[in-house]
Amino acid sequence: MLLYDSLTARQKPFTLPSDRPISLYVCGITPYDTTHIGHARTYLVFDVLTRYLRWQGAEVRYCQNVTDVDDPLFERANRDGIPWQDLAQREVDRFLADCTALNIAPPTYFPKSSTEIETMLPLVGKLLALGHAYEREGNVYFAVQSYPSFGAMARQDYAGLLATANQRGNDPSDPLKRDPLDFVLWQTCKHGEPTWESPWGLGRPGWHIECSAMATRYLGPQLDFHGGGSDLIFPHHACEIAQTEPVTGLQPFAQFWVHTGMVYLDGEKMSKSLGNLVFVREAVKEHTSNALRWYLLSFPYREAFSYERKGVREAELKVAQLTEALQVKGGSATPLDLSRAREALTTALATDLKTPLALEVLAEMAQRILSAASEGANLQAAQATLADLATMLGFQCSPSTT
Ligand SMILES: [Zn+2]
């Protein structure tokens, strides 16, 4: 298949390996708030990628982490006066329930940062030994100047990188840093935050090193696909590249960097900080899971779009037609042949995961079955093909009654 790689900024061919499993790592949630439609879109896209690869017979090892060692979680737990572990567990449970409601298949590995500290320490130690990191008063920083291509995936000059990093939590005025863009690998903690033992004293890891450690532990030193929302390209994924490649000695860390576009509501990016969220939990009360899936996959995965209820209601009609086509009674006249449509659908997915086109073909197949039914055609093979492809795209189909 062809898939767009954010690092090289082009579509590249991916050939299914015959002698090994495929590895996919997708950055997971920080469990301090409820899953919104923006998250759902990202995890649905990777759900379809995984299903499509598995449908072709590949073994896919999919690792998705839980970032339960991070500032927003500790701040929220502190604000609400509850232990951070309890808050994290509650939100992880809710996230899993939301994924189940959307028929998103669970990842193969689902590690939590808080139980992977031992995996992170050797990486930090090795970066220090290699001269890519330095220690200051119990903090360890990655030296971005030691890695000339740092931030290449963001395609910005130094000033642009710094501005983006600052918007996304970087502290440029930290007096312990050599360069304002240097980022934390290990840090001392504020009073009351959880700490772990390390060669540099009590503290906790930085967010970026958590993902490098879990990805390499569960999937190996090089990945086929590394994914996440497009807001993770910089600094998060750039930092992952810079701190992983020197340790493994292998480039690129991921053969494909795959990023999903943001979801907007009323012209603004849907985000916790803006408070303009549509929660999955609420959306599944109003719409069927199949219609939400159809709607969210009807946009090119890399593009941003604005969430509209009207669009989900329209998707409801497509889903109803799909169900009807799977259940309509056929006759004994000439069988309906959908093999060319089947090929068109799989070609759409093989061409940079064009889910909007795949859904158009799926809808057309359903229409053709319904009109062939009125002419008494034999529908057995056509309905089996439709059910197979709909299931491959993650729709929950009731069995055919023919
Ligand atoms: Zn990550």
Nearest to 83 by CA among 186, 192, 187: 192
Q: What is the pLDDT of residues 99-154, one digit of tens each?
A: 999 999 999 999 999 999 999 999 999 999 999 999 999 999 999 999 999 999 99
Q: How many Å lie between the centroid of ligand 1 and the Cα of residue 48?
A: 20
Q: How many Å lie between the centroid of ligand 1 and the Cα of residue 268?
A: 24
The pLDDT score that the predictor gives to residue 105 is 98
Q: How many Å lie between the centroid of ligand 1 and the Cα of residue 236?
A: 6
Q: How many Å lie between the centroid of ligand 1 and the Cα of residue 397?
A: 33
Going by pLDDT thresholds of 50, 70 and 90, the confidence category of residue 268 is confident
Nearest to 119 by CA among 215, 189, 232: 215
**Other C-beta atoms within 10 Å of 19: how many?**
4
Q: How many Å lie between the centroid of ligand 1 and the Cα of residue 225?
A: 13
Q: How many Å lie between the centroid of ligand 1 and the Cα of residue 21?
A: 21
Q: How many Å lie between the centroid of ligand 1 and the Cα of residue 315?
A: 32
Going by pLDDT thresholds of 50, 70 and 90, the confidence category of residue 190 is confident
pLDDT at 337 over 60: yes
Domains and CATH numbers, the chain: 14-130+145-166+206-265 (3.40.50.620), 310-392 (1.20.120.640)
Q: How many Å lie between the centroid of ligand 1 and the Cα of residue 212?
A: 7
Beta strands in 30-80 (DSSP E): 60-64
% pLDDT > 90, the chain: 93
Q: How many Å lie between the centroid of ligand 1 and the Cα of residue 254?
A: 13
Please state, in angstroms and rounded to a whole number, the distance separating the CA atoms of residues 215 and 226. Answer: 9
Q: How many Å lie between the centroid of ligand 1 and the Cα of residue 398?
A: 36
Find the range with the poorest average confidence among 20-24, 103-107, 290-294, 396-400. 396-400
Nearest to 386 by CA among 334, 331, 328, 333: 328
Going by pLDDT thresholds of 50, 70 and 90, the confidence category of residue 215 is very high
The pLDDT score that the predictor gives to residue 373 is 98
The pLDDT score that the predictor gives to residue 271 is 75
- 164-172: average pLDDT: 95
Q: How many Å lie between the centroid of ligand 1 and the Cα of residue 29?
A: 9
Q: How many Å lie between the centroid of ligand 1 and the Cα of residue 64?
A: 9
Q: With contact defined as beta carbons under 8 Å apart, do 372 and 382 qualify?
A: yes
Q: How many Å lie between the centroid of ligand 1 and the Cα of residue 239?
A: 10
Q: How many Å lie between the centroid of ligand 1 and the Cα of residue 27?
A: 4
Q: Which residues pair with 141 in a beta bridge?
A: 134, 184
Q: How many Å lie between the centroid of ligand 1 and the Cα of residue 26?
A: 7
- 286-309: average pLDDT: 97
Going by pLDDT thresholds of 50, 70 and 90, the confidence category of residue 35 is confident
Which residues have their alpha-adjacent CB atom under 5 A from ion ligand 1? Answer: 27, 211
Going by pLDDT thresholds of 50, 70 and 90, the confidence category of residue 269 is confident
Q: How many Å lie between the centroid of ligand 1 and the Cα of residue 35?
A: 17
Q: How many Å lie between the centroid of ligand 1 and the Cα of residue 348?
A: 28
- 362-375: average pLDDT: 98
Going by pLDDT thresholds of 50, 70 and 90, the confidence category of residue 400 is very low
Mean pLDDT of the chain: 96
Q: How many Å lie between the centroid of ligand 1 and the Cα of residue 271?
A: 17
* Phi-psi category of residue 305: left, alpha or beta, with phi > 0 → left and psi -120 to 50 → alpha: beta
The pLDDT score that the predictor gives to residue 399 is 56
Q: How many Å lie between the centroid of ligand 1 and the Cα of residue 44?
A: 17
Burial of 55 (0-12, 13-18, 19+ CB in 10 A): middle
